[in-house]
Amino acid sequence: MSTYALTDSWTMTRRELSHWARQPVQIVVNLAFPVMLMLMFGYLIGGGRGVSGPYVDYLVPGMLALTMAFGLEGTMIAVTQDLNKGVIDRFRAMPMADGAVLVGRSAADMLQSALVLAVLTGVGYALGWRAHGGFAGFWAAVGLLLLFRFAMLWIGIHLALIAGKPELVQAVQILVWPVGFLSNALATPDSMPDWLGTLVQWNPLSRTATAVRELFAGGAVDTGHVWAAVGWPLALLAVFFPLAVRRFGRLSK
């Protein structure tokens, strides 16, 4: 990406960040929802059938991965609103790099995702969870989580451009829920029927959750799990990033 495109993308990122000051309630809700889920599964629904060891050690990394898959509606609504309010038309009249609006949107959301991870990690520590993988293991796990989030954001952006209207975002967002819960984020595949467990293990979210658990836990780490957690998001990005930029270019003409 050229310096010109990076400058435009940073300008768009600052635009998105300025919305935070005017809409603090949305930020609070985005932070409160995953915290509520973690507390609910930790105290109300927890139990971890089939999980060896304390359930909190299984739950917290899974919830971190699950949260990276959820919460895309804010991005999707923002993209569709810009399309419908004519904001994109005004940007198009400016000497701006193609795709800078989308890159700025994703960059702002990644900053928010990092904040969510920090808050959830603190809640996990309050629940008794601890990361034993050391400095390198901890930050490698965080890197995998953010990589997965980045891929999910571009899927959300592409789906938002297809939906076209904010009213349709909720219907599209529903598609994310089966992907999230059909994973090993909250329960081990060993406790599921064989056919369902096999399907769950192939879920990209499960790949990230498994690698993150091992990195946080310390000890032996299966490099195959780590490479799968890297490969799936990169494959998704290779598909949806160009699709989103291409569709955006067509809509803004």
Q: How large is the average pLDDT for residues 183-210?
A: 88
Q: How large is the average pLDDT for residues 155-180?
A: 76
Closest CA to 66 of 22, 117, 21: 117
Instruction: Please calculate the CA angle 129-130-134 and round it to the nearest 5 degrees.
Output: 160
What pTM does this model have?
A: 0.84
Question: Cα(96)–Cα(23) distance, rounded to whole angstroms?
Answer: 26
Domain interval for residue 183: 3-251
User: Above 80 in pLDDT, residue 188?
Assistant: yes
Of the segments 60-74, 75-89, 177-191, which one has the largest average pLDDT value?
Answer: 60-74
- Residue 181 exposure: Cα atoms within 13 Å on the Cβ side: 6
pLDDT at 106: 85
Q: How many domains does the chain have?
A: 1
| Residue 128 region by backbone torsions, left for phi larger than 0, else alpha for psi between -120 and 50, else beta | left
User: Above 70 in pLDDT, residue 46?
Assistant: no
Give me the percent of the chain exceeding a pLDDT of 90: 34
**Mean pLDDT computed over every residue of the chain:** 81
Could you tell me the pLDDT band of residue 236, with boundaries at 50, 70 and 90?
A: very high
Could you tell me the pLDDT band of residue 240, with boundaries at 50, 70 and 90?
A: very high
